[in-house]
Structure 1
Amino acid sequence: MDKKVEQQLAELNLSQVKLIPLEVAENDRLLSVKKDRSKGEYCWTMTPFTPEIVFKLAPEAKRVTYLDADLFFYDNPACFFEEFEKSHKGVLITEHGFAPEYAHWEEASGRFCVQFLTFNNTPEAFKVMHWWQDACIDWCYARIEKDRFGDQKYLNQWPGLFGEHVHILGQVHRTLAPWNVSFYMANQPQAPVFYHFHSLRLAGKRIVRLYEGYQISKPGMLLYQAYISTLQEKLKLLNMQQMDIPSFPEKISLFMLLRRCRDLLKKTVKYSVLKY
């Protein structure tokens, strides 16, 4: 989705990565709405088209799994695919699994999270995929409406429309994120398959915002420590290759400063210093 990222990945020449340039992935339908969408909204609009793009380039593939870029794996996801295969369905989706204190967010964000989503190479799966493509071409914006929010809230309709084709992952306690990590690690303690580092961002040179708007318990912070250690290794690699490391400094107004102080006191935001 970003030319600079594509160029940097090409220079790194990672053995298990095959890059697909944006211009290869785009089609007339996508280009017809591109000017009407922000960059983020266009990324979301692209999501339901991505599995089909991969299938076209690799028709021998049995399935394609879409991953959000801010996932980090702590265990092999084979257990997810084993559960999926036993369901004999064509599409796998995951729930947000909000902790009770964040349950009210489901109304805005939806029951399901696009974070980890698998399509089999079958007509049944393509039926769901094409429905999603049509919906996102019609409307995919970064605002909340009754039944819509970006590409994500459309998934709420899938169990009703495509229940015979869609499997909802049962292992929600192994798909952790800031909105559920403290709850599940206290009540169903088991190593996660992945953690969704939602709201983590490089906020300045060597400064990383770990999370914002949540309270993360000590067991949850261990996951952040492991991620930060790996992140620092990768940033060192970029430095060795003399590649730019992007950061997204936040514009701090007096209001934002006061809000940040409040969040720090409430422990719902945390910053760390990166060493690389």
Structure 2
Amino acid sequence: MNSFCTLFDANYLSRGLVMYRSLLATGTDFHLYVYAFDDLCADILRCMNLPRMTVVTLQEFEDERLLVVKAGRSKVEYCWTCTSHVIGHALKTFALAEITYLDADLCFYSDPAALLDEFHASGASVLLTEHRYTFIYNQSKKSGVYCIQFITFRNDQNGLSALGWWQERCLEWCFAFFEDGKFGDQKYLDSWPERFPGVHVLSHIGGGAAPWNIQKYTLQNDEHRLTINDVPLVFYHFHGYKFYRDGTQNLGDYWLRSSVIDLLYRPYVCAIQSAQQELCSLSKEFSHGYSSWDTSFSAAFSRLKRKLKGEYNVYKQL
């Protein structure tokens, strides 16, 4: 059985549910440890009593060192700070041999065992996935070569050494801007293949498809199975996707082929809408997940540039 962990609050709860159910749909044998970053998220998930899921609250997870830095970081920055600590907490608390952290806005299309089989065959202790940026969207210098989206650690000396180093760096500095070669929790990973023994970089292109690299792949529905460049698509990272109270859908800031919108985004939007409706039926208090329009001049200018470049993926109805 493969062990996964993730973290999110009520604002990402519908995304987290879609990710969890996409894992179920692949038929893989797994258990997901969800670190709920607010009480509403924890209460709803525990009420749902979903199979193959363990919910961990902030009260069960946070320690003194995390609480010391919490006040000085934004909500996003604190989540990034906590990612490595969530991984370490899950390994220790649940006595796991290994665990893979998943971003909540992933969606799975085939068994992630294909990615983990590659990792296990390598004999490594840490698995990294590259951004694999399309040339025109290459942000490696500021955002990093590797993406936190799907990262695995073995509970062994090499895995714990890399994880412990990462935890310390994130406590020292983890902010949503580039400074002195650092950005959030992610830029720290750039040096790992040289810094630590036992680090494997995923080669399977089906793991790591995302809006910043999908332009260089051919996406197809091959006998009811999605493939990219004839390789089974394992997961897609719906980074930048937003939805609004008036029903508007914003697919993000990258150029997307119509086939990508049809095969990936339309079904994902339907799944998110269904999850939102379910959550609203479970809790009258639930009104989370919706984005607000930025009405500033700079935001309006940015939207104009996106329109001119064909990157304005905003739809009243999709």
TM-score by length of 1: 0.91
- Structure 1, residues 194-250: CA drift from partner, whole Å, max 9, x if none? 1111111123342221112x1011222121122112222212212332442321212
Determine if contact 2:87/2:99 at 8 Å carries over to the other structure: yes
Q: Which amino acid aligns with 1:22?
A: L
In structure 2, C-alpha distance between the alignment counterparts of 1:223 and 1:150, rounded to whole Å: 28
1:11 deviates by: 2.4
- Shift in alpha-carbon separation, 1:148–1:101, aligned structure 2, 3 A: same
1:36 corresponds in structure 2 to 72
1:145 corresponds in structure 2 to 179
Gapped runs of 5+ residues in structure 2? 1-36, 220-227
**In structure 1, which of residues 264, 268, 274 is the aligned counterpart of residue 307 of structure 2?**
264
Tell me if 1:177 matches 2:210: yes
Determine helix, strand or coil for the equivalent of 1:93. strand
Gapped runs of 5+ residues in structure 1? none
**How does 1:212-223 map onto structure 2 within 5 Å?**
212=253, 214-221=254-261, 222-223=263-264
**How does 1:248-263 map onto structure 2 within 5 Å?**
248-263=291-306
**In structure 2, which of residues 100, 113, 136 is the aligned counterpart of residue 101 of structure 1?**
136
Q: Which amino acid aligns with 2:102?
A: L
1:14 deviates by: 1.6
1:52 corresponds in structure 2 to 88
Q: How many residues align?
A: 271
2:279 corresponds in structure 1 to 238
Determine if contact 1:71/1:195 at 8 Å carries over to the other structure: yes
In structure 2, C-alpha distance between the alignment counterparts of 1:33 and 1:232, rounded to whole Å: 35
Structure 1 runs of 4+ with >3 Å offset: 272-275
**How does 1:13-162 map onto structure 2 within 5 Å?**
13-59=49-95, 61-103=96-138, 105-162=139-196
Q: Which amino acid aligns with 2:117?
A: E
- Shift in alpha-carbon separation, 1:274–1:76, aligned structure 2, 3 A: farther
Determine if contact 1:97/1:172 at 8 Å carries over to the other structure: no
In structure 2, C-alpha distance between the alignment counterparts of 1:58 and 1:258, rounded to whole Å: 49
In structure 2, C-alpha distance between the alignment counterparts of 1:68 and 1:174, rounded to whole Å: 13
Determine if contact 1:174/1:191 at 8 Å carries over to the other structure: no
Determine if contact 2:44/2:283 at 8 Å carries over to the other structure: no
The alignment-based identity, stated in percent, is 34
Determine if contact 1:173/1:184 at 8 Å carries over to the other structure: no
1:253 deviates by: 3.0
TM-score by length of 2: 0.80
Q: Which amino acid aligns with 1:48?
A: S
In structure 2, C-alpha distance between the alignment counterparts of 1:17 and 1:174, rounded to whole Å: 22
Bigger drift between 256-265 and 149-158 goes to 256-265
1:189 deviates by: 4.2
In structure 2, C-alpha distance between the alignment counterparts of 1:78 and 1:157, rounded to whole Å: 26
**In structure 1, which of residues 165, 190, 195 is the aligned counterpart of residue 231 of structure 2?**
190
Cα RMSD for the two superposed structures: 1.9
Determine if contact 2:115/2:202 at 8 Å carries over to the other structure: yes
